[in-house]
Structure 1
Amino acid sequence: MTDPSPQFVAAWQDLTGEFEAPGIGPNPSEELPSSEVEQVNRAYEKSAAAGRERALKAFRDLLERRMDTFRETAEEAAEKSGRAELKNAEAREGPLKTAGARRASVFGRNLDLLYQYLGITYEELSAVTAISKSTLNAFIRERPSPALGSVFQVGTGLGVHPTVLLAGYPELEIWEEAADPASLASGSSLPSEIENSRLRRTTEPMNRLLDGEAPDGEAFDAEAFDAEAFDVDDLGGANGPAEWLRRVEDVAQKLAPYFPSPGGALGAVIGWHHGGLKGAGLAAAAGHRYRLAVEQRDLEGFRCPGPFIESCLRRKLRHRYWE
């Protein structure tokens, strides 16, 4: 075995110290083939500059070989991991189903939000969506995973795209990152207080407010109530569903001129519940932008959303903001 010259050893130790390459030791004879060590030694015999250049090339070539080995090992590990995943399919089934059911249950909550906001009966909701009262009750109260066709059916009947019907706080975050509300709304701008507000997760405290679970306490200060800033502990004395309804009506009215469609107005209801004022703007923008994918002007003679839903919204909004 060819021993490296002292100059080569010194240069190699400088390189390993400078670049801190993992797995490469300070002794070049333990890292390189004898033929390569000999080539570097011969270069040093010519000049120090030639030796340093050849030592650096040997170090770089070694790194590239190691990288190739790492890539091959990583690919082998990825393939093995993939095979392990398939073998663990049965164990993964439970967690995946639980996660899917939890995310799908947001449909029932959002349908409940729209039902509460519109102030209609189960019979009326059943009539406009063509879904039985018992099934609607199950969606809203028991929140099972809905069939995909049912989600689209409700969306078409109400004029709200399934993307919005299935939206919770994670979707609001994605919409905020993907595009600002103005671009979602094809150039419309938002009121400054919404444009400048911050997205906050409000789902759980809003649920408590809507479900009337706020603890007894001092009188509720409606003016001080801020959907973006309140904490669960601040809900003492809140007037439950009545206060939720008053606040969501205010938000929907504020946004309706900017997103003039049933999808925009009802999107604001869902977004405000899950993400406060900014969430209302994001969901209203999405609901308005996606409206053409669900609104049917002539569905075998019927218009969806029909005049009943529009009349409910006109009553809530005190104006008609769509054609």
Structure 2
Amino acid sequence: MQLNDNFADSFDLIGSSDSAIGSNVGFTGEPGEPNHAGISPPLNSAWWSWRAPASGVVTIDTFGSNYDTSLAVYTGSALNNLSEIASNDDSNSFQSEVSFTATAGTTYQIAVDGFSSSTGQIDLNLELDLVFTQVGTAGSDNLNGSGANDVIRGLGGNDQINGNGGNDVLFGNGGNDQINGASQGDLINGGAGSDTINGNGGSDTLIGGGGSDTIAGASGNDVIIGGGGGDTIFGNGGDDYINSGTGLDTVFLGTGAVIVVLETGAGFDLVNNFQVTQAKFQLGDGLSFAELSFVDSNLGVNIFADNDLLAVVAGNQASLLNNSELFIF
């Protein structure tokens, strides 16, 4: 099982609101790692990272954790060049909370540790206070960004929403919306309805929400989350992370080092263009490689976990995919 013990193995928090449950039991520090909130040695840190989709005040806390936590947030790409942005030991009894002004497009490194040698279950919560630059109506609107960093929310109706530049946050909400990002890193969430979402460039986070959505990444390293409904997902280029969600989804992979999530009870994916030299599957729901079986079919390779069909991988053979090195678990 992949763990977020080391800085390089951090887990991602996504979007303007996210949470995660983890643990730092058995975790250790690394050479050169900072002393989180000034009270952490011996280090037992767990790491997350978050790319700010918009500028604004963000609050991160460990409320709900079952031990005396410490929390620190940094910028920097390696342990030896981290700059602390905020840190805290105790805010709510023995849990921790920090707030700071995030800058759109900046990646923040988040360390959760404990007072002295304290370890336990981690509940990590993140909330970015968004200031909307445009809000639609209950009808079908045409909403266009300015070229700067826009935060746009449609309401009801079948909206056309265009970011037009900058690091934009675009919400469709209700209706069957057409939402287009631009050349920089955007966060797009279709919401309810059957939406068409285009990243169009940059490293985007694209979320379908409910309904049968069509979602297209572009040349950047995109995070694509289908949500509910039978979605059609195009990775196109870049090193993408694709979780199609529930429903019977069709996924077309691009040319980069792609990760596709497989989960039980979520319906199966028809996965196209899976190249064993560059793509991998990530197993969710506590699945292990030992639970999987691989069966050749007319459509490709059927991947099962017990009797649950997880995916049909077109243009491949069971003998090639039955390889634990193609799976992250």
Q: Same fold (TM over 0.5)?
A: no
Higher helix share: 1
Give the number of the structure with larger relative contact order, counting CA–CA contacts within 8 Å between residues 6 or more apart. Answer: 1
- TM-score normalised per structure 1: 0.20
Question: Of the two, which has the highest radius of gyration?
Answer: 1
- TM-score normalised per structure 2: 0.19
